[in-house]
A and B are shown apart, each in its own frame.
Chain A
Amino acid sequence: MRKIIRVLFLLSPIIILGFALYEMDLWHPPLNSDVPQYIDINVLRDHPDIYKAPMRVIIQGQVYNKTGDLLFLYGGDRGFFLVNCSGLDISSVEPGMDLYFFGLSYIDDPLKGYFLAENFWIQYSYSVYLSIPGAFLILIILFVGFKFNLKDFSFSRKRQEEPKDA
């Protein structure tokens, strides 16, 4: 492989990073209001009139406290975000849990000012930690199977393929 091509390939994740940085602050109005929209709580607060009921909205947040049917989610420096879960069994919900909510936004309504949850799911995120043993296995495959060469910063199976008497 030519060196210049290799350098370009090595730098290719910059494209992903660029897109990711662009995505972080990106917001555009929904194209189709019939599709449930997944949005950040802060975006919902910035554009309450766009996401108001009857549009279905999905939000994610961490529970700070609960009182009866009401859940208070962490809302950063803008105060807590109120979710009304009337009609739902939230006995399994504990403070600190990450939840996804599916429902209707009434936060632009001065009389209500809450998000009415129609359904919720508790998020269990073991997957990040379960990736640690997987990462070790990958490292074994790469470093033992493909033999990492520090000199030219590459994995190579060349030496494996070389005849013993060479």
Chain B
Amino acid sequence: MPDWLTHMGIAYLVIWSISKIPKFEKLRPYFWLFVIGMVAPDIERIIRLVAQEIGNAFFLELTYAITTVSHSILGVAIVSLFITSFFPHEKNLKRLYLALFIGGIGHLLVDLIMWPWPGMGINLFYPLAGSEFSFSFHLVWPGGFLPLIVVSCILLATVCIDLIQRNFTVFNFKFLSKTERGIA
């Protein structure tokens, strides 16, 4: 259960890698939707933060229950539907939904490295819940800084690569030299 920053960092790394492959250029409109999808299952964090600050045990308990549901394939499908409803003018809703859904599945994959979740894992196939249906690779402790530090270092490396190549492919932004600008 890494924080939103780590999830966004990982999502950026994914879209950065895809943006380097010209074949996937048509996926560009969905890059940032993938990033949103990647953090969407943690949408209850806002309620948890408020519940923690005001010390409301019921809402705090509820957010943990929401986490159990939202961190499943069914939960990701529902949250993606909810976000899709905010894009009624989009031409291709199916692709938009798919981008969000794939992002959500990416979120679950990242969370699978974490432990110990309640039941020592994520209930991927909720409503099948409980310790018997929990999955986790048991690699990293949730809530720590380690995932964020690792992701930040890799992210910094991608920025360096982009700077060397003078081409931020994710943002479709090229640095032009003085002569190149003159030609343009």
Report which A residues bind B (CB closer than 8 A).
1, 6, 9-10, 12-13, 15-17, 19-21, 23-24, 28, 30-32, 35-38, 58, 60, 100, 121, 123-135, 137-138, 141-142, 145-146, 152-158
Contacts and interface: CB of A to CB of B under 8 A. Distances in A.
Contact of B130 (A30, A130, A157): A30
A133 B7 CA distance: 12
Interface stretch (B17-25, B42-50, B160-168): B42-50
Contacts of A10: 82, 85
25 contacts: A9-B81, A9-B85, A10-B82, A12-B78, A12-B81, A16-B70, A16-B75, A20-B66, A20-B69, A32-B132, A35-B131, A38-B131, A58-B116, A125-B142, A125-B143, A130-B3, A131-B42, A131-B49, A134-B7, A135-B45, A138-B36, A146-B87, A154-B86, A154-B88, A157-B89
Contacts of B46: 135
A100 B68 CA distance: 18
Contact of A20 (B8, B65, B79): B65
Nearest to B67: A20
B2 A127 contact: yes
A153 to B, nearest CB: 7
Contacts of B56: none
Interface size class of B (residues with CB under 8 A): 35 or more
Given A20-B65, A24-B61, A138 B39 contact: yes
A153 B3 contact: no
Nearest to A26: B129
Given A10-B85, A38-B119, A155-B86, A16 B66 contact: yes
A126 B78 CA distance: 27
B141 A13 contact: no
Given A19-B127, A154-B86, 20 more contacts: A1-B85, A1-B93, A9-B81, A9-B85, A16-B66, A20-B68, A24-B62, A35-B131, A38-B116, A121-B116, A123-B143, A125-B143, A126-B3, A130-B5, A131-B3, A133-B5, A134-B8, A135-B4, A138-B36, A145-B32
Interface string B85-104: 11111100100000000000
Q: What 4 A-B pairs come out closest when comparing CB atoms?
A: A134-B4, A9-B85, A130-B3, A20-B65
B62 to A, nearest CB: 6
Contacts of B145: 126
